[in-house]
Chains A and B, each alone.
Chain A
Amino acid sequence: MSAATVSRKRPRTVRPGTVLAVIALVVVSAVVLLPIAIIVFTAFKPTAEVNAFPPSLLPDEWTLDNLKQITSELPFLRLIGNSFAFAGGVTAFALVFDSLAAYALARMDFTGRRVLLIAIIATLMIPFQATLIPLYQLVSDLGWVNTYAALIAPRAADAFGIFFLRQFFLALPRDIDAAARIDGASEFRIFRSVVLPNAMPALLTLGLFTFVNNWNDLLWPLVFTTDSEMGTITSGLTLLTGPGGIIPHGVMMAGSLIAILPLVVAFLLIQRRFIENIATTGLK
């Protein structure tokens, strides 16, 4: 731990470079956090202040009117529920299916493993926008438009998750499952009670990543839902800004606040592990 003792001695000689760096970082962070601040503060501003000139960041008077109004503009609870069902459903299925496939690719021996791995990596390169039209036709032939199945099933497994988890499973030491094998445990048992518990950091990272990306996706719910009751919070909010849908900024910001709140809270709760895991697992 010599690095720690060195770093403790360091601050005594604060170099001008460090001061400049901190000033630069404060400025950049302020710009980066400004949109978040404007969402939070405008959500609680009375309409008169929102449209006042000169504009200000903080409200003089705090109000819940915007939050009340957004719930009357949209089937708001329904949309939030849909977002949780969609992002949560995709995440749950994808974690199960991806980890099963990744386990086979990383720790089982079977014919054609390399070919299959290359094929999966190849599908990783296909942007979903490019297959959207036939995918829509397929979903519509199945009678799934405006259902959770349409939103969830096509993403219930994905190449990125398989690849990401495979990298992690490969890096787990081989001998962790030796004892279980000697006891005659089945492959599935080893997967579930030896490998998965050791892969929690990777599962958590992939889970949050999948949840965030789906919660935030705009094009996907726009395409697969035409009924406003079946949209997500992300797609629902955009209906308010389109042609003829101009509503006050304060109300939009209240809607935005509710849309980002679950993700920001989840991220802040596990942020340290999340950033470290992106850094240390196969993502780079």
Chain B
Amino acid sequence: MSVDNAPARRYRPPAPLGGRRRASCGGLLRRNTRAFAFLAPALIILGLFVVWPMISALRLSFTDASGFGREEWVGLENYATVFTDPDILNAVGNTLLYTVLFTPTAVIAALGLALLLNSPHMPFRSFFRTALFIPFVVSFAVAAFAWSYLIDPQVGLLNYWLGGLGIQMGNVLEDPTLAMPAVAFVAVWKLFGFYFVIFLAGLQDIPSSLYEAARVDGARAWSRLRHITLPLLSNTMAFVLIFAMIAALQAFDQIYVMTGGGPYGNTQTVVMEIYESGFRKLDIGFASALSYVLLIATLVLSLVQFLFFGRREKDLSS
């Protein structure tokens, strides 16, 4: 099932029968036509709805487009606003804070639980695996309703229970310092199960013979973790980290529901600014410039990921 059992053959076409296939130019043309018939529907959709809007957004980002009337070319003015407007800088700062709160928490929780649940001796293993993955199928919006109710200052069950333990949380979503950790926590809850499953898969790729050898050498659990598991998991780790960071850069749903960007703009994120400037204020040129900044940030992260991923594929096939 894994990619590594056909390393040398993977980029080669099916073996020609009797060798007559690669002969003529007509054959090549026929093969290309046939392949593009398979590809056409997907390419049309991607071209029209992904590539074209991307090019279009780039053009709009240099204009003062507002949805009405003529749009004027304004050069880099929108980009200058992105990097100077205090509201946008606030949203960028918030998005980075959210990323810093969300990413390590989600990744460490996922890794720790995957390590615990990778052992075949763990009782109730499949129950725990299922339970931990369930939040992933719950929408951010519903997660936001449920958590908002749980931490409601008047009738919230979690607030009440924690109060019993002597922890007073107060009105978390109205609290300028606690609101961001709260919305980031909801994202951890929703997404860590997905990273957990990817870590489990990575752990299963580590040959058990390595652990047996280490056990024979008398290596303790901690040193097995440090010297075998973590180094061999580094590619999976890189993949999950970057995946999580990209998800964090796009934070919108649960914040829109829980705080609407408040209190005092303290949970306003970049995507919320894109939504508001593009669809509420109809400042389309500016929203496009902000979109492009997000796009480039994501591309840079994805390229890093792709380099790791590419290296991993090479490792597998060599």
Stretch binding the partner chain, chosen from B76-84, B100-108, B176-184, B246-254:
B246-254
Whether B287 is near chain A, meaning CB under 8 Å from some CB there, is: yes
A241 to chain B: closest residue by CB: B257
A148 to B157 CA separation, bound complex (whole angstroms): 39
- B193: chain A residues at CB < 8 Å are 32
Whether B298 is near chain A, meaning CB under 8 Å from some CB there, is: yes
> Distance (Å) between the CB of B199 and the closest chain A CB?
9
Interface string of B171-212 (1 = CB under 8 A from A): 000000000000000000100011001101110100000000
Q: Which of B34, B134, B152, B221 contacts A108 (CB 8 A)?
A: B34
Judging by beta carbons under 8 Å apart, are B149 and A131 in contact? no
> Distance (Å) between the CB of B313 and the closest chain A CB?
10
Interface SS of A by simple majority: helix
Whether B2 is near chain A, meaning CB under 8 Å from some CB there, is: yes
> Distance (Å) between the CB of A91 and the closest chain B CB?
14
A253 to B150 CA separation, bound complex (whole angstroms): 11
Judging by beta carbons under 8 Å apart, are A104 and B39 in contact? yes
> Distance (Å) between the CB of B113 and the closest chain A CB?
7
Interface SS of B by simple majority: helix
Q: How many residues of B contact A (CB 8 A)?
A: 111
Whether B261 is near chain A, meaning CB under 8 Å from some CB there, is: no
Judging by beta carbons under 8 Å apart, are B252 and A218 in contact? yes
Interface string of B293-308 (1 = CB under 8 A from A): 0110011001100100
A267 to B204 CA separation, bound complex (whole angstroms): 22
Interface string of A1-42 (1 = CB under 8 A from B): 001000100110000011001101100110011111011001
Judging by beta carbons under 8 Å apart, are A171 and B6 in contact? yes
A279 to B196 CA separation, bound complex (whole angstroms): 10
A58 to B133 CA separation, bound complex (whole angstroms): 24
A217 to B204 CA separation, bound complex (whole angstroms): 31
Whether B74 is near chain A, meaning CB under 8 Å from some CB there, is: no
Q: Which of A111-158 contact B (CB under 8 A)?
A: 111, 113-114, 116, 120-121, 123-127, 129-138, 153-158
Stretch binding the partner chain, chosen from A61-69, A74-82, A93-101:
A93-101
Judging by beta carbons under 8 Å apart, are B130 and A260 in contact? no
- A96: chain B residues at CB < 8 Å are 41
Q: Which of A29, A98, A234 contacts B142 (CB 8 A)?
A: A234
Q: Which B residues contact A (CB, under 8 angstroms)?
A: 1-3, 5-6, 9-15, 17, 28, 31-32, 34-36, 38-39, 41-43, 45-46, 48-54, 56-57, 60, 67, 113, 116-117, 120-124, 126, 128-143, 145-147, 149-150, 152, 154-158, 160, 189, 193-194, 197-198, 200-202, 204, 221, 236, 239, 246, 249-250, 252-253, 256-257, 260, 271, 274-275, 278-279, 284, 287-288, 291-292, 294-295, 298-299, 302-303, 306
The 6 A-B pairs at the shortest CB distance, nearest first, are namely A109-B13, A216-B139, A279-B201, A110-B35, A134-B56, A35-B146
Q: Which A residues contact B (CB, under 8 angstroms)?
A: 3, 7, 10-11, 17-18, 21-22, 24-25, 28-29, 32-36, 38-39, 42, 50-57, 96-98, 100-101, 103-105, 107-111, 113-114, 116, 120-121, 123-127, 129-138, 153-159, 162, 167, 170-171, 173-174, 177, 181-182, 187-188, 191, 212, 215-219, 222-223, 234-235, 237-238, 241-242, 249, 252-253, 256, 259-260, 263-264, 266-268, 271-272, 275, 278-284
